[in-house]
Amino acid sequence: MNKKSKIYIAGHNGLVGSAIWKNLREKGYTNLIGRSHGEMDLLDGAAVKTFFETEKPEYVFLAAAYVGGIIANNTYRADFIYKNLQIQNNVIYESFRNNVKKLLFLGSTCIYPKESPQPMKEDYLLSSPLEYTNEPYAIAKIAGLKMCESFNIQYGTNYIAVMPTNLYGLNDNFHLEKSHVLPAMMRKMHLGKCLHEGNWSAVREDLKRRPLDNVDDKSTTDEIISALNRYGIFSGHVELWGTGQPMREFLWSEDMADASVFIMENIDFDDLRKDKEEIRNCHINIGTGREISIKDLAETIRNIIGYKGDIRFDSSKPDGTMRKLTDVSKLTSLGWKYKVEIREGIGLMYDWYIKELLWNTEN
């Protein structure tokens, strides 16, 4: 890529896409293009076809996806497999048809087996069954990885698949049912703190920005309390799913963006297929190689937010995979390493969350 290359970031308003956009801008790239969901639905093959034929991007970051945490993955199984397959099929195929020079496909480390050896190496893909709760999403991401690999083998394209660990950061999704564990936990404790302190103006500010179902800042106090209780938020405690024992790895979204741009600038598919008798598992894990228990994560978030209530774990709810630690030796050998540690990242994220609420209130 050069600084004037035409670069399309699919999902440029999302957690990772917005960070990639910011990273490229800071590095001096000037010809970036993105389309909001309202401007182009990536599920619409005809719309994606028209976009590629009209804009002719040279490089593509495929950061768009239908994502969520364990509750959403297990509840909306058809949506997760259908929408993700459709999005990636449309973007990857139109990239091929329109001679895109290079594409980066973002997957997820949930592609690895439930009982995978730890840390998870790229070669462990498809070695045993997947975790049931997110199997449809994982299968979609495996299909995207294999689609990139297969186009590279058959047509000589330069499509690289990366598998990030659990991501968090600015512009995250804070929906209490459909988001990932860290932002959901942060919002639960923020609302729990407001409720615990009787700070109803702060509760209503939060619901004005992010309504819960049909409950917003205009709803009655009883309606708000009922909605918060449904999501495990009470005046004296918050409830979290599972036992708190699973271990998870987290990567700051801006670190993920930096790794993505680094790979697009420096690594080609041919660099990844060397010395392989069979061309497979050429994808790259992106993570920190460090893990924290869900219980310790909750305590870290509690301390940063200043939440004084109790944290209760509901062991009747599923834990998901007990460990999901990535082996990042391939990425490290290519010359990239993360910078932001988990406590620093959570602090940055909560500061942004509060500032966004204040901005929304003032405007």
Residues designated as active site: 137
DSSP assignment letter at 120: B
Q: Are 137 and 82 in contact (CB under 8 A)?
A: no
Q: Are strands 237-241 and 166-168 parallel, antiparallel or unpaired?
A: unpaired
Q: Are 42 and 87 in contact (CB under 8 A)?
A: yes
Can you read off the two tokens belonging to residue 202? 């702060």
From residue 345, give the alpha-carbon distance in Å to each of 168, 178, 302.
Answer: 8, 21, 14
Prior bond to 119 cis, omega within 30? yes
CA 169-170-173 angle, to 5 degrees, is 80
156 burial type by CB count under 10 A (0-12 exposed, 13-18 middle, 19+ buried): exposed
